[in-house]
Chain A
Amino acid sequence: GAGVSQSPSNKVTEKGKDVELRCDPISGHTALYWYRQRLGQGLEFLIYFQGNSAPDKSGLPSDRFSAERTGESVSTLTIQRTQQEDSAVYLCASSPSMMGETQYFGPGTRLLVL
């Protein structure tokens, strides 16, 4: 079936505005992850959802960042009062279950905060 999809593919916003990023995981994948990748940097873990369990939010950099997921479907990552340092590619990945399973990445959302 289809892979992980993300929208929008690109987003330009003004400092202080809120943005919402969307991720559609592969159907049947119970685990969903959000990562941030700044230009020339590695992947920074943000948040992890596994089924109906409480999400692991340990990677969220500040309380301006939040994420939701309904069941085992779509997830949204919200950044409130965006700052220029939030500019990055936000990658979503899903995997069939929790431990040791391959993660499949979406194409990412490129966020630019002016």
Chain B
Amino acid sequence: EIVLTQSPGTLSLSQGERATLSCRASQSVSSSYLAWYQQKPGQAPTLLIYGTSSRATDIPDRFSGSGSGTDFTLTISRLEPEDFAVYYCQQYGSSPLTFGGGTKVEIK
């Protein structure tokens, strides 16, 4: 099983700042099958990034993904009020599919 470790657990930032979220895998994620999801309180998760760096439909370009192998990053270039949420990475290259524990981006 591929274990995904997200860091930090909580990121306290101000609107307009840059957010950098890390997702580290216990073994290489095949073919960059790595996705990022955003979840706001009381809502279902929504897809942000797939294939490590491809933005999902209607996702603004302030969100970007990068990485390969075992190290992946989600970057939010300038935080907007609606971006304060919990973010999860997921690998879907091998079974069992696994999620990271999440990073909460909160208002400083």
Decide if A and B are genuine partners: no
Residues of A at the B interface (CB closer than 8 Å) are none
B positions within 8 Å CB-CB of A: none
